[in-house]
Amino acid sequence: MDAFVQLVILGLLAGGVYVAVGVGFGLVWGVLNIVNLAHGALVVVGGYITWQLFTGFGLDPFLTLPLDAAALFILGYALQRGVINRIIRAPLLFTFLLTFGVNLVIVNILLLIFGSDFRSVTPTFSGQGLELGSVVIPYVRLTTLGAAILLSAGLALILNKTRIGLAIHATAADRDAAQLVGIDLRHAYAVTYGLGAACAGALTDTTTRSTSGCAASQSAAPTGYSERMTWSCVRR
């Protein structure tokens, strides 16, 4: 029974964080009407950024979250403005093909730069957790869930309380009417895609596993608790 409760808690913590990644995907789909098949590749980029900052500068993975978000926002903005915006009104199949192609390009560039070797990040707190009897709540996943909630709240604040957020709402409701009142659709689309990319990459450090490229994962045993944060690069 204790093992079942442990697994349920770990599942809830992990599921809460995946929501943050899904929010970015849903934002792009809802506003741009694009099924972004490059979303996973952007998650992989976030994992590599975190690994590089940890190994190169010794930065704690959680301290890299703002840097991940900023870097992925810039990358997403540039991708949308320079590539995806060209087929923004095209049929859905065109967006499938283009974003899938972008996904392949990003993944293979990462493989060329970093190779396909196994990589790992092991901060000092990775094996610690809050013990409630025989149940252990990992500090890593608990903190990640809190960061995911803050990220989602920040995204909601941007969309509902800022000028660009209101412009994104207007664009999603009626792009032609939004353009008539002076909204720069290209900028609104690019900011939307950038926000989606930021959500994809910001919490990569502790939650996501990929079969191509570099991604973060966690493992925990219900008894004899042990957890680690790893990034693995696997050539498909």
- pLDDT tens figures, 50-79: 889 988 898 888 888 889 999 999 999 999
Burial class (CB in 10 A: 0-12, 13-18, 19+), 222: middle
Look-up: residue for tokens 């943050």? 20
Long-range Cβ pairs for the range 51-57 (8 Å, 24+): 51/119, 51/121, 51/214, 51/231, 54/121, 54/123, 55/121
Q: Which two tokens stand for residue 180?
A: 């008539």
Half-sphere exposure of 10 (CA within 13 A, CB side): 22
- pLDDT tens-digit map of 146-192: 888 888 899 999 999 999 999 999 999 998 999 999 999 999 999 99
Interatomic CA distance for residues 47 and 40, integer angstroms: 11
Mean pLDDT for the chain? Answer: 81
Q: Are 110 and 44 in contact (CB under 8 A)?
A: yes
Can you tell me whether residue 224 is helix, strand or coil?
Answer: coil
Residue 204 pLDDT = 64
Mean pLDDT, residues 123-131: 78
Q: How confident is the model at residue 19 (pLDDT cuts 50, 70, 90)?
A: confident
Between CA 175 and CA 73 the distance in angstroms is 22
Q: Which domain holds residue 207?
A: 2-234
CB-facing half-sphere around the CA of 161: CA atoms within 13 A: 6
What would the mean pLDDT of 110-130 be, rounded to a whole number? Answer: 81
Query: Please, are residues 228 and 119 in contact by the beta-carbon 8 Å criterion?
Result: no
Q: Which of helix, strand or coil describes residue 232?
A: strand
The sheet carrying 227-234 orders its strands as 119-121, 227-234, 213-220
Q: How many CA atoms lie within 13 A of 176 on its CB side?
A: 1
Extended beta strands in the chain, E state: 119-121, 129-132, 135-138, 213-220, 227-234
Domain total of the chain:
1
Residue 104: pLDDT band with limits 50, 70, 90: very high
Under a CB-based contact definition with an 8 Å cutoff, are residues 107 and 213 in contact?
yes
